[in-house]
Amino acid sequence: MKLSERAPDVPPTATSVLVLQSSEPSSSNRAAKRLLVPREGGVRVAGVSFARSPDDWGADWRDALGRSPEAAAVVTDAESDRRDAGPSVYTVSSPGDLTGIGMKLSACLSEWEGTDADVVVVVESLTHLLQYAQLETLYRFLHVLVGRIDAVGARGLFFFDPTTRDEMTVNTLKTLFDAVVERRGDDGWAVASR
């Protein structure tokens, strides 16, 4: 699928993509969110987001897709006041509860497995999760999650701000993903795949 806004193609075989870009308002991630989402047909989005309300998260996805997803679910640490029907909300005690996050995402993937819709798992953001978990713990969590995503035929999109950590941390995270897409300022995007 082709990224808009001067972004390169992500290989169709990439089931897990790491997006490296400095932290920006989520609405500026529209092009990156289209990385693994088909332009036509049904899509189900399961996400992890601790920075915004579930309603804002759902509205952002409707905007990015240009339509409502067939189904949407978000894992967060606190249920907020709901303004609309929005996504299903699953809560965990904190962003450091990686086991709880994994269980909630796995439940969504199991429920949606075998549907005709494309399933996308989105983690916004790894930067936030690293404030609550050690790199080794997050690495093990992501290794299991990426394997689960691949096993059920879903696709994964993971956001990370590389300016918040050292190069070793960034390189360690890169090894988990099929493709790495990096925002290069005004020069657009670059993609690397294995």
Question: In the predicted model, what is the mean pLDDT of residues 119-124?
Answer: 93
Would the pTM of this model clear 0.85, i.e. be above it? Answer: yes
Q: What is the pLDDT of residue 86?
A: 75
Q: What is the pLDDT of residue 12?
A: 80
How many whole angstroms separate alpha carbon 2 and alpha carbon 35?
7
Residue 36 has pLDDT above 70, yes or no: no
Phi-psi region of 131 (alpha: psi -120 to 50; beta: other; left: phi over 0): alpha
Q: What is the pLDDT of residue 16?
A: 94
User: How wide is the angle at C-alpha 32 spanned by C-alphas 48 and 36, nearest 5°?
Assistant: 75
Label residues 123-147 b or e (16+ Cβ within 10 Å = b): bbbbbbbbeebeeeebbebbeebbe
Residue ranges and CATH numbers for the domains of the chain are 41-156 (3.40.50)
Question: In the predicted model, what is the mean pLDDT of residues 82-111?
Answer: 89
Question: In the predicted model, what is the mean pLDDT of residues 91-120?
Answer: 92
